[in-house]
Amino acid sequence: MVFLGANVFFPQYAGTNSYYSGPYIDCYAKYPYPVAYENLSETDRLALEEKQRSCQQEMQTEQEQFEQEKLSYEGSKYVFMALFNLVILLIALFLPKLQDSVTMGLFLGSIAATFGATIRYFDTQSKIGFIILVITFFAMLYFINRKKDDFLDWSNKKK
């Protein structure tokens, strides 16, 4: 649910926009070789190859710019997911009225979603996201230390 929510609140690079598709121009289709390529003069051949090469360089520059903007945007999305998971973990930790099974479910869901979001971290290298990840790790250790007796006796409490 966290990942679906992240795509709802950060929809720019989701779905079909998640990869670079460019302006749908194939440089070889834009500047095709003539049927009688052998009959072209050397200057015409060089001019055609130069047009194709410059078109490819422009496309590559546009793709690199797209990928850089996407990584920046994905960094914000990662921070959102990590913060959301941290909030859920803190709710599970400090709300005393929740049943142990609900608390355990929130804890495991938060940790699983944080682990999944960490994969996104390797792409984005977000510094803020890393700090949130470290805080989540220490909150998880605190949670386990604080609730360990409840979870060890969880199956015995049912009887």
Q: What is the mean pLDDT of residues 60-76?
A: 83
The whole-angstrom separation of Cα 113 and Cα 110 is 5
Q: pLDDT of 99-151, one tens digit each?
A: 777 777 888 888 888 787 777 777 777 788 788 888 888 888 888 887 776 66
For 27-58, write each residue's pLDDT tens digit. 777 888 788 878 888 898 899 889 989 988 98
> Which single residue is written with the structure tokens 């959102």?
80
On the 0-12 / 13-18 / 19+ scale of CB atoms within 10 A, 7 is: middle
